[in-house]
Amino acid sequence: MALQLSEIWIYPVKSLGGIRLKEAKVLEKGLQWDRRYMLMDRTGRFMTQREHHRMSQFHTEWHNEGFLIRYQREFRLLPFEPTTEDTVSAQVWDDSLYVRKVKGDYHDWFSVHLGTACELVFFPESNERRVDPRYAADETHVSLADGYPFLVVGQASLDDLNARLDQPVPMNRFRPNLVFTGGQPFEEDTWQNFTIGSNRFRGVKPCARCVLTTIDQETSLAGKEPLRTLAAYRTREHKVYFGQNAIAIDHEKISEGDVVEVG
C-alpha cells in the first residue's frame, strides 16, 4: 500500500494542545508556528505535562490573528508574532537558550489556572538552538521541541500498539507532527531519507518516549498505559521507542494527502 501523509500537527505552545492543519510550511526549526511559545517556571526551566498534567486542558485553536488558547470557558489570543519585551535565558533539557517574555496578562492567567507561577515566552525564528550533533552532523537548528524539528509516526504503528491494549489510545498521546498511512508497523524506525510531496527529510533517530504518553489528553489523568505495553516490545538499551525524529532538507509546503516516498 502506498504511503500517504494523513495528518499534520503543530503545537504552538510547548506541551499544550495541538492544532491539525490541512497544509503547513516546512521551516528548518520545524513546521511554521510549531513550539515557538513555551511556559517556564521561576528558575527559567521549561514546563511540560510530565510534571504539570493540567497543561493538557489548555486547548489550542486557529484564529486569523494567531492562536486561541482555551481553558474551560476562558481564552487568550496569542498573536503569530507577539509583542515581546526582555530577552531572558531559559532551559530546555540540557540546552540553555534565549527567549523573549511575551507582553500581556498571560503570566497571571496561566499561573492561576496551573496553580504555580510561570511565564509565557517566545522563541524568535532568528534564535539559535542546535540539534544534538551526535545525530545530525550539520548545523540544523530546532525551536522549543524536546530535541528535533519533526516527529513522524505511522498510523500502522499506532494500530499495532492498540491491538495489544485493553483500551486503545489516540494518536495525540504521542504528539506527532507528521502522521502517514500505509506500510508496516514501525517501518519509520529505519527511514534515513524520505520525501513528502516535494520536500526531502532525513530520519535522525527513533524517538524515546516518556510518561507524557500516559496522560489522558481529555481528562489530564495519568495511568500506566500505553508505556507499559510499549516497554514489553519496544525497549532498546533501557529506552522505549515510538516514532522517528527527523530534520528537513527542503523548506517547502506540505499538504495532507501528499505521497510519502522512502529512499
pLDDT of amino acid 137: 64
Q: Which of 149, 148, 153 is nearest to 243 (CA)?
A: 153
Query: Mean pLDDT, to the nearest integer, of 10-30?
Result: 98
pLDDT in tens, 195-245: 999 999 999 999 999 999 999 999 999 999 999 999 999 999 999 999 999
Q: What pLDDT, on a 0 to 100 scale, did the predictor assign at position 169?
A: 98
- Cα torsion through 180, 186, 188, 189, rounded to 10: 160
Query: What's the confidence (pLDDT) of residue 85?
Result: 87
The predicted pLDDT at position 132 comes to 85
Residue type present at position 23: E
For the chain, domains (ranges, CATH) are: 3-262 (2.40.33.20)
pLDDT above 90 (res 156): yes
**Over residues 161-182, mean pLDDT:** 98
What's the mean pLDDT when you consider all of the chain?
96
pLDDT for 134-153, tens place per residue? 877 678 999 999 999 999 99
C-alpha cell at 209: 518516549
DSSP bridge pairs for 236: 239
Q: Flag whether pLDDT at 247 surpasses 90.
A: yes
Q: What is the pLDDT of residue 133?
A: 81
The Cα 81–Cα 103 span in angstroms is 11
Q: What is the pLDDT of residue 43?
A: 97
Percentage of residues in the chain having pLDDT higher than 90? 96
Res. 180: pLDDT tops 90: yes
The pLDDT tens digits of the residues spanning 22-78 come to 999 999 999 999 999 999 999 999 999 999 999 999 999 999 999 999 999 999 999
Q: What is the Cα–Cα distance from 174 to 243, expressed in whole angstroms?
A: 8
